[in-house]
Structure 1
Amino acid sequence: MFDPKTLRYDANGLIPAIAQEAATGEVLMMAWMNAASIEKTLASGRVTYWSRSRQEFWEKGATSGNQQVLVEMRLDCDRDCLLLQVEQSGPACHTGRRNCFYTAVRQGDEVEIAKPMT
């Protein structure tokens, strides 16, 4: 049986989690989780992160409706990073974009490569 306590967390008890669209492989976002948010995610099937700024749980889409349903959780080889394969409804980014990686550095310049969906 998987035990979240066996993961390697930082000094604040957090582990980075990368959300990826399960169907396409698109990288959507990165956020932080702790052992309790991992347990909530596995119990509910809805991804719950830990908000460092608010110091509280943050179920993705609870207020926006842009939920992440967990398809599979993967651990990296060092057990210090998670890959969450999800089904994302709507934008994953709080800016209204499909993913959080909408700025590229091209020939030394920052370029916006995606506009908000809404």
Structure 2
Amino acid sequence: MPSAETALAPEIAARLKRDDHGLVTAVIQQYDTGEVLMVGWMDDEALHRTLTTGRSTFWSRSRRSYWVKGETSGNRQWVKEVRLDCDGDTLLVQVDQEGAACHTGDRTCFDAGLLPAAVGAPENEEAGR
């Protein structure tokens, strides 16, 4: 379990809605293109580290430890901006990504292919009325 003791500013901590494990989803996005790179998990300490170091820091649910993106791979993320969504349960972390964001070596974790889905369009909805 992540440490309950943290230096996260109280006004930020009060806005977060964490899951049962004390975690918040963090969507990582390339700051200049809007490309969604990956999704990770942050607790208060990981968010504090991200906000104060300028490097994306996450809580690994499988290893049960903190990790800084690129610490071992060299594919670092340089934080440009962090936003909290309206519900307080998701973070948007805009970064400048160095190299691949995905552990598979792909640019993003969403390069694995599209799922078959119906494509909607506003004009189709109007025609059906």
TM-score, scaled to structure 2: 0.79
How much is the aligned-residue C-alpha RMSD, in angstroms? 1.6
1:17 aligns with 2:26: yes
Task: Say which one has the larger Rg.
Answer: 2
Q: Deviations over 1:54-95 (max 9, x none)?
A: 000010000000001110001100011000000000000000
1:106 offset after TM fit, Å?
2.9
Contact 1:4 1:38 in 2 (8 A): no
Question: What is the percent sequence identity of the aligned residues?
Answer: 49
Residue type of the alignment partner of 1:53:
S
Provide structure 1 residue ranges, at least 5 long, that are not aligned to the other structure.
109-118
**1:76 matched residue in structure 2:** 85
Q: Please identify which structure carries the higher strand content.
A: 1
**Residue segments in structure 2 that go unaligned for 5+ positions in a row:** 1-8, 119-129
SS of corresponding position for 1:12: coil
1:58 matched to which residue of 2? 67
| Residue number in structure 1 paired with 2:114 | 104
Question: Which amino acid in 1 is paired with 2:13?
Answer: K
Q: Which has the higher helix share?
A: 2
TM-score (norm 1): 0.86
